């Protein structure tokens, strides 16, 4: 961008130079043609002074343009350094993002493995669920047998109580009979 501006300025300067050169040749021609006319020469001198002041103005403009170009160069250098810093920040961020992506990929693989395990567990549960009616039937049968066994145990318990009572009675009779026998034996 700055090269284009410099080329435009140089083209304008060359145009101005060519105008000045043209004026000089005209002045020489006028001096040669109009040697006796001082008033015209004075006018030409004033015109030349005007041109000189214009050239001086152009020089100051060129100086201003040069300072602007220097400022633009400084801005470009600042932008380049900012771009370099930004690029390094982005590179660092990309490294972090890549690491995070790798971690996410590893997590996804772990999740996939877990899903496979869960699917296998679900299939196992489904198979076990098929056994539930059989287990319920077996539990029902066991309950029936437990109830029947409890009834049998209650009958046995009642029978044992009856036997205990009978043995108790027989034991008392035996003690009474023994005492009676001892008494008879002692009286005899």
pLDDT digits (tens, 9 = 90+) for 87-108: 888 888 888 889 888 988 888 8
CA separation for the pair 4, 14 (Å, rounded) = 15
3 state SS of 117: helix
pLDDT band at 41, cuts 50/70/90? low
Rounded to the nearest integer, the mean pLDDT of the chain is: 80
133-151: pLDDT as tens digits: 877 887 788 788 877 778 8
Residues above pLDDT 90, as percent of the chain: 0
pLDDT for the residue numbered 36: 56
3-state DSSP helix/strand/coil % of the chain, to nearest 5: 95, 0, 5
In the structure encoding, which two tokens stand for residue 32, read together?
């040669």
Q: Please name the residues in contact with 9: beta carbons below 8 A apart, sequence gap of 6 or more.
A: 62, 65
How much is the pLDDT for 154?
Answer: 83
State how far the Cα of 59 lies from the Cα of 64, in Å rounded to an integer: 9
Q: What pLDDT does 34 receive? A: 53
Enter the DSSP assignment of 188.
-
Where do the structural domains in the chain lie, given as residue ranges? Answer: 2-96
**Local structure of residue 112 (DSSP, 8 states):** H
pLDDT (mean) for 110-123: 86
Kindly report, residue by residue over 59-81, the tens digit of the pLDDT: 888 888 888 888 888 888 888 88
Question: Residue 44: CA atoms inside 13 Å, Cβ hemisphere, count?
Answer: 17
pLDDT for 38 equals: 65
**Which of 7, 135, 9, 114 is closest to 61 using CA atoms?**
9
Which of 1-15, 36-50, 67-81, 109-123 has the weakest average pLDDT? 36-50
Which of the four pLDDT bands, split at 50, 70 and 90, describes residue 179? confident
Predicted pLDDT of residue 39: 67
Question: What does the pLDDT read at residue 32?
Answer: 65
**CB-based contact 24:44 (threshold 8 Å):** no
């Amino acid at each position: 961008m700055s090269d284009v501006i410099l080329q435009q300025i140089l083209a304008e300067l060359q145009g101005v130079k060519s105008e000045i050169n043209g004026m000089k040749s005209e002045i020489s021609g006028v001096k040669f043609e109009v040697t006796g006319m001082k008033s015209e020469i004075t006018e030409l001198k004033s015109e030349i002074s005007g041109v000189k002041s214009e050239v001086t103005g152009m020089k100051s403009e060129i100086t201003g343009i040069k300072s602007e170009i220097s400022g633009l160069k400084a801005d470009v250098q600042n932008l380049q350094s900012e771009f370099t810093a930004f690029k390094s920040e982005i590179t660092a961020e990309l490294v972090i993002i890549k690491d995070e992506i790798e971690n996410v990929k590893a997590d996804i693989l772990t999740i996939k493995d877990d899903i496979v395990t869960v699917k296998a567990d679900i299939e196992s549960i489904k198979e076990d669920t098929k056994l539930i009616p059989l287990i319920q039937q077996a539990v029902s049968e066991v309950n029936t047998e437990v109830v029947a066994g409890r009834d049998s145990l209650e009958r046995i318990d009642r029978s044992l109580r009856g036997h205990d009572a009978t043995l108790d009675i027989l034991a008392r009779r035996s003690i009474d009979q023994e005492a009676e026998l001892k008494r008879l034996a002692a009286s005899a």
